[in-house]
């Protein structure tokens, strides 16, 4: 059993999320849960618990069982990739969406596979007129390798489609595995005939496509998202908690702990070790948000509601406790038009 108390990586929840995708695929293809869970220490109910942090080894058990039950078919792996959305990787997804070009966004994706505990490693192999994205699955157990590689390749294609707002043409698709029984389904997704039994697993993307500007490019938002990405993989629990509270200052300690891949007890203990408390960080976040909203001219009743206060009077008392003045007095003192 994994040690849930010590797991602090932002990527810790990813195996559980992918295991839930595998469970959904098994149901869709009528693979019994008893078959899917052979050799697993978890039940499907266990996987519904966001505090659970299984490992990649736990994940591979389910993928291997599903691949065996499907007789080597890779169409379900295509389905798994189709279920992905860029927003699933939070700040990293925002950084990709706001990048200047598709190539710049994919460079971030390559950085992610090098930084986080992702299933595969991706590297770019440029050639004249085309760049091949090579997917390294050499570390994967052989029974799961074709399935996982197909899954991650389709996920990359879906990312490209979401970023550009349209399907992305590919120059070639090569797979370092035997041709599956449902190869036509895999070909249909790519729009080209996949080359099987190759010495590399790769997608060829025309250079002109990679140089396409993204419709959602935004330099300021991109810079902010990159800072958020740095926090995602930071070991600084206090900094990560502040960042999470800045996004939602009304979140409870339990909710923030889940976001960070921690138990609430571990979150509080690590903050204590850093010389602070969750209550203090939450108060500072609410105060900062209150000042922002009041500075925008919102009525203090609406500010109270946005900060989770059911009673505007309670907000006024809290604000005075935080700053020494009422929201009305604070706004009057800080109004640039006065």
- Two tokens at 170? 């590919």
Q: What is residue 204's predicted lDDT score, i.e. its pLDDT? A: 96
Tell me if 149 sits within 8 A of 48, measured CB to CB.
no
Q: What is residue 179's predicted lDDT score, i.e. its pLDDT? A: 95
Q: What is residue 42's predicted lDDT score, i.e. its pLDDT? A: 92
Which residues, 6+ apart, have CB-to-CB distance to 28 below 8 Å? 76, 79
Q: What is residue 139's predicted lDDT score, i.e. its pLDDT? A: 84
Detail the DSSP E strand segments found in 85-171.
121-127, 130-136
Q: What is residue 1's predicted lDDT score, i.e. its pLDDT? A: 34
From first to last of its 338 residues, what are the pLDDT tens digits of the chain? 333 333 334 455 678 888 999 999 999 999 999 999 999 999 999 988 877 878 888 988 999 999 999 998 999 999 999 987 766 556 788 889 999 999 999 988 887 766 565 778 888 998 899 999 999 988 888 888 999 999 999 999 999 999 999 988 999 999 999 999 999 999 999 999 999 999 999 999 999 999 999 999 999 998 888 877 766 666 678 888 887 787 788 889 988 887 777 788 989 999 999 899 999 999 998 998 888 888 777 888 888 898 888 889 999 999 999 989 899 888 888 764 44
Distance between alpha carbon 240 and the CA centroid of its chain, in Å? 15
Q: What is residue 11's predicted lDDT score, i.e. its pLDDT? A: 55
All domains of the chain in start order, with CATH: 1-69 (no CATH), 73-218 (no CATH), 238-334 (1.10.10.60)
| Maximal C-alpha separation, the chain | 74
Tell me if 308 sits within 8 A of 250, measured CB to CB.
yes
Q: What is residue 140's predicted lDDT score, i.e. its pLDDT? A: 87
Detail the DSSP E strand segments found in 110-190.
121-127, 130-136, 172-174
């Amino acid at each position: 059993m994994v040690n849930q108390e010590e797991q602090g990586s932002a990527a810790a929840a990813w195996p559980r999320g992918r295991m839930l995708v595998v469970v959904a695929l098994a149901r869709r293809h009528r693979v019994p849960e008893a078959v899917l869970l052979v050799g697993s220490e978890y039940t499907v109910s266990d996987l519904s618990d966001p505090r659970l942090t299984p490992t990649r080894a736990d994940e591979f058990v389910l993928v291997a069982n599903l691949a065996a039950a499907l007789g080597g078919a890779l169409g379900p792996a295509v389905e798994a990739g189709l279920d992905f959305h860029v927003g699933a990787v939070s700040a990293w997804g925002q950084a990709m969406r706001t990048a200047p070009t598709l190539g710049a966004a994919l460079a971030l994706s390559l950085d992610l596979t090098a930084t986080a505990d992702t299933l595969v490693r991706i590297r770019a192999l440029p050639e004249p007129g085309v760049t091949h994205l090579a997917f390294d699955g050499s570390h994967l157990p052989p029974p799961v390798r074709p399935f996982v590689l197909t899954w991650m390749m389709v996920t990359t294609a879906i990312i490209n489609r979401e970023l550009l707002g349209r399907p992305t043409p590919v120059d070639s698709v090569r797979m370092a595995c035997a041709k599956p029984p449902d190869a036509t389904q895999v070909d249909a997704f790519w729009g080209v005939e996949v080359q099987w039994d190759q010495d590399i697993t790769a997608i060829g993307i025309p250079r002109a496509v990679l140089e396409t500007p993204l419709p959602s490019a935004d330099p300021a938002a991109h810079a902010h998202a990159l800072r958020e990405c740095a926090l995602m993989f930071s070991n600084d629990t206090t900094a990560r908690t502040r960042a999470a509270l800045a996004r939602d200052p009304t979140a409870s300690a339990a909710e923030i702990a889940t976001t960070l891949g921690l138990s609430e007890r571990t979150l509080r203990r690590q903050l204590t070790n850093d010389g602070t408390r969750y209550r203090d960080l939450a108060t500072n976040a609410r105060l900062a948000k209150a000042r922002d909203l009041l500075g925008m001219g919102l009525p203090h009743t609406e500010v109270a509601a946005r900060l989770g206060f059911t009673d505007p009077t309670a907000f006024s008392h809290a604000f005075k406790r935080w700053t020494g003045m009422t929201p009305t007095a604070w706004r009057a003192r800080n109004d640039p038009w006065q």
